[in-house]
Amino acid sequence: MNGKIALLAGLGLVLVFTYSCFPEGSGISKNGCIRTELGVKANTLDDVAAACDATRGEVLSQISNNFGSCSKNNLDFDKPIRDVVAACGVSEIPIISGASSSSKKSSSSSGSCDIGKTVIIGTQTWAAKNLNCNITGSKCYGDDPANCEKYGRLYNYATAMRACPKGWHVPNNAEWDKLYRSVDGTSGTESPYDSETAGEDLKSQSFAALLGGGGTSDGNFMGVSEYGAWWSASEYDSDNAYSRYIYDAYEGAYSWKDDKSYLLSIRCLRD
Query: Contact 10/26 with Cβ under 8 angstroms?
Result: no
Residue 15 pLDDT > 70: no
pLDDT for the residue numbered 127: 94
Q: Supply the pLDDT for residue 255.
A: 97
pLDDT of residue 205: 73
Q: Which of 148, 187, 179, 197 is nearest to 268 (CA)?
A: 179
Q: What is the pLDDT of residue 114?
A: 72
pLDDT higher than 50, residue 112: no
pLDDT at 106: 38
Inter-residue contact 137 to 158 (CB < 8 Å): yes
Q: Which residue(s) pair with 124 in the sheet?
A: 121
Give residue 58's pLDDT: 74
Pairing of strands 221-222, 214-215: antiparallel
Looking at residue 32, its pLDDT comes to: 64
- pLDDT, tens only, 119-146: 999 999 999 999 999 998 899 999 999 9
Please provide residue 7's backbone torsions phi and psi, each rounded to the nearest 5 degrees. Answer: -120, 130
What pLDDT shows up at residue 233?
A: 97
The whole-number pLDDT of residue 10 equals 35
pLDDT in tens, 141-163: 999 999 999 999 999 999 999 99
The phi, psi pair for 17, rounded to 5°, reads -150, 155
Q: How many residues are there in the chain?
A: 271
- Most confident stretch, 14-23, 68-77, 212-221: 212-221
- Mean residue pLDDT across the chain: 76
